[in-house]
């Protein structure tokens, strides 16, 4: 089939926080779209969405919805992806899935284009988009791995509430207002909507993102650990993570300690490397108080890196501070970027 008029693209979860960003990103990046189908759960079906002055009606996602679709971007929760991505693939669509449904499946590529674009060639109709906190970290670490090798990572995250969806952002704002006005409030969403207890996020920090596993780590932490190894093709890499939710609407930050294989590497060499790395913007000038912050990264596709310095004791150890818009590079932009690369590599049927 010729695609000279563009592609038939479907967005599944079109009314959600990430789905909305996906649509905006497709437009902003001038993705070659012939036809756009917006899909959602039955609950949101029928909603109208305005895109560049044209009104679209969101339809309920069903297996038949994917007839004729070339590329389907999924962000409607793991169960929807589990059910419908194989149906879409069966009908010839190539699926980019932003949920955790398939990420650790051995026959599904888990892709960050700056890191492992070549894995796209191994797809069987579904490509998984990694977890937001994982993506920005591997973009910053991959150039370092390529040049100096990578042995160990210890990361502590500072994550925005939009990672829990639009309702969590609303909870942060309403709760903040209530506290400033000395009114009462009842936490209902964070840290995890489906978990037993909910806690104040305004003017607080919650060391729980996603539910806990038996080993004392949260699923979010285990995602960072397992996905990093898979994306970087480093099964032996040592990775540990502590994931923390902050009263920030958009923009994840990460304090990353890493150990490289090579010795006698300076922080200046790491900075020089990241200055020219794909998808990275180096903001590292302590003397002039230049470093990345979540408030500055909102709406930008890149991963911002700063505060790069040698560990005090370990000559192979370094610290850095990595910030990115969790809805863009952490989700919508990485998905659209995968779609772009699929097109450019001729992988879309």
Feature table: binding site: 15-18, 43-44, 103, 159, 162-163, 245, 326
Place of tokens 């104040």: 200
Nearer to a copy of itself, 53 or 216 (CB): 216
Which member of 8, 123, 132, 297 is catalytic?
132
Residue 166 lies near a copy of itself (rule: CB under 8 A): no
Q: Is 132 a catalytic residue?
A: yes
Residue 311 lies near a copy of itself (rule: CB under 8 A): yes
Residue 312 lies near a copy of itself (rule: CB under 8 A): yes
- In 260-339, beta strands by DSSP E: 280-282, 303-310, 317-324
CA distance linking residue 280 with residue 276, whole number of Å: 8
Residue 342 lies near a copy of itself (rule: CB under 8 A): no
Residue 255 lies near a copy of itself (rule: CB under 8 A): yes
Q: Which residues are annotated as a binding site for phosphate?
A: 103
Neighbouring C-beta atoms of residue 50, cutoff 10 Å: 8
Residue 30 lies near a copy of itself (rule: CB under 8 A): no
Q: Is 297 a catalytic residue?
A: no
Residue 165 lies near a copy of itself (rule: CB under 8 A): no
Residue 257, Ramachandran bin (φ over 0: left; ψ between -120 and 50: alpha; else beta): beta
Signed CA dihedral, 252, 225, 280, 111: sign only? negative
Cis peptide upstream of residue 21 (ω within 30 degrees of 0): no
Stretch that binds a copy of itself, among 63-71, 107-115, 293-301, 340-348 (CB under 8 A): 293-301
Q: Which residues are annotated as a binding site for NADP(+)?
A: 15-18, 43-44, 162-163, 326
Contacts by residues 185-189 (CB-CB < 8 Å, ≥ 24 positions apart) = 189/164, 189/165
CA distance linking residue 279 with residue 301, whole number of Å: 8
Residue 261 lies near a copy of itself (rule: CB under 8 A): no
CA distance linking residue 346 with residue 276, whole number of Å: 27
Q: In this structure, are residues 267 and 310 in contact, taking their beta carbons and an 8 Å threshold?
A: yes
CB 135 to a copy of itself: min, Å: 18
Count of residues making up the chain: 349
Coil, strand or helix at 176: helix
CB 53 to a copy of itself: min, Å: 25
Residue 216 lies near a copy of itself (rule: CB under 8 A): yes
Nearer to a copy of itself, 90 or 177 (CB): 177
Residue 207 lies near a copy of itself (rule: CB under 8 A): yes
Residue 163 lies near a copy of itself (rule: CB under 8 A): no
CA distance linking residue 281 with residue 292, whole number of Å: 9
Q: Which residues bind a copy of itself (CB under 8 A)?
A: 152, 154, 156, 158, 173, 176-177, 180, 191, 195-197, 199-200, 203-208, 212, 215-217, 225, 238-240, 242, 244, 246-249, 253, 255, 257, 267, 286-289, 291-295, 306-314, 317, 319, 321
Q: Which residues are catalytic?
A: 132, 252
């Amino acid at each position: 089939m010729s695609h000279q008029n563009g592609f038939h693209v479907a967005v599944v979860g079109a009314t959600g926080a990430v789905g909305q960003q996906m649509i905006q990103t497709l437009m902003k990046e001038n993705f070659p779209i012939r036809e756009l189908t917006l899909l959602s759960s039955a609950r949101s079906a029928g909603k109208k969405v305005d895109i560049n002055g044209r009104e679209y009606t969101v339809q309920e996602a069903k297996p038949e919805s994917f007839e004729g679709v070339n590329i389907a971007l999924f962000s409607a929760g793991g169960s929807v992806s589990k059910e419908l991505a194989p149906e879409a693939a069966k009908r010839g669509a190539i699926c980019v899935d932003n949920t955790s449904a398939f990420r650790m499946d051995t026959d599904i590529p888990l892709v960050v284009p700056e890191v492992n674009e070549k894995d796209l060639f191994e797809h069987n109709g579904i490509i998984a988009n990694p977890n937001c906190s994982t993506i920005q970290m591997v973009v910053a670490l991959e150039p370092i791995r390529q040049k100096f090798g990578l042995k160990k990572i210890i990361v502590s995250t500072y994550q925005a509430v939009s990672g829990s969806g639009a309702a969590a952002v609303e909870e942060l704002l309403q709760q903040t207002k209530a506290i400033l006005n000395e009114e009462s409030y009842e936490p209902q969403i964070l840290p995890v909507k489906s978990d037993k207890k909910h806690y104040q996020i305004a003017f607080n920090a919650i060391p729980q993102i996603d539910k806990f596993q038996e080993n004392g780590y949260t699923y979010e932490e285990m995602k960072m650990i397992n996905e990093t190894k898979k994306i970087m093709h480093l099964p032996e890499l040592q990775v540990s993570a502590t994931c923390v939710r902050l009263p920030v609407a958009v923009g994840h930050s990460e304090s990353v300690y890493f150990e490289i294989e090579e010795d006698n590497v300076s922080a200046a060499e790491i900075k020089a490397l990241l200055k020219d790395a794909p998808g990275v913007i180096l903001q590292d000038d302590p003397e002039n108080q230049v470093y990345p912050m979540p408030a500055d990264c909102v709406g930008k596709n890149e991963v911002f890196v700063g505060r790069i310095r040698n560990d005090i004791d370990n000559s192979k150890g370094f610290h850095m501070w990595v910030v990115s818009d969790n809805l863009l590079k952490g989700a919508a932009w990485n998905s659209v970027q995968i779609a772009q690369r699929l097109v450019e590599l001729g992988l879309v049927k």
